[in-house]
Amino acid sequence: MMNGSIYLAAFFLNPNKIFKAIADNPDNELDLAQKASDAFNDVLVRLVPDETLQDKINVQVDKYTTVQESFAKDMAIRQRDKLNPISWWSRHGSTASELSKLALRILGLCCSSSGCERNWSTFEFVSIDY
C-alpha cells in the first residue's frame, strides 16, 4: 500500500515517521526522503491547482524538512513521537500555515474502506416501499 503517492505523502508529513526513518537509516536517507518528497509533490499538484500556492507550500516544506522556525522549537522536536500527526501539525505548524492546512487534509484522510462499509451495512436495513 505504501507504493501509493497519497500514502507516501502522509508518511512524509508524519514527523514521527519521516524523521525517525531518516535517523534510523542514514545510508538510505536520500533515497527514502526523495521518494517521499516526490510523492508529496505529486499529491500537491493534484490537490492544489493554484501554482502560486504550490510554490508557497514548497518553500514551507523546506522549513519542515530542514527543521526551521516553528519546526525547530524544542517542544516541536520532542513531541514528534508523543502527539498524533494531526495534533502535531495543529500545534507546531504555525509558521507554515498553508502546508499545515494541506498536511491536516492529507493526514485526515481515511486509509481504509471500513467507514464506508459501516455505512453500507446500515443502508442494507433501509427499505424503500413505493
Burial class (CB in 10 A: 0-12, 13-18, 19+), 92: buried
Determine the Cα–Cα distance for residues 3 and 24; give it in Å rounded to an integer: 20
Beta carbons of 100 and 93 less than 8 angstroms apart? yes
The grid cell for 58 is 514548497
Which residue in 15, 65, 59 sits closest to 37, CA to CA? Answer: 65
Domain assignments of the chain as residue spans, ordered by start: 5-123
The pLDDT tens digits along the chain (130 residues) read 445 889 999 999 999 998 888 777 766 556 777 788 899 999 999 999 999 999 999 999 999 999 999 999 999 999 999 999 999 999 999 999 999 999 999 998 866 555 556 666 665 655 555 5
Q: Would the pTM of this model clear 0.95, i.e. be above it? A: no
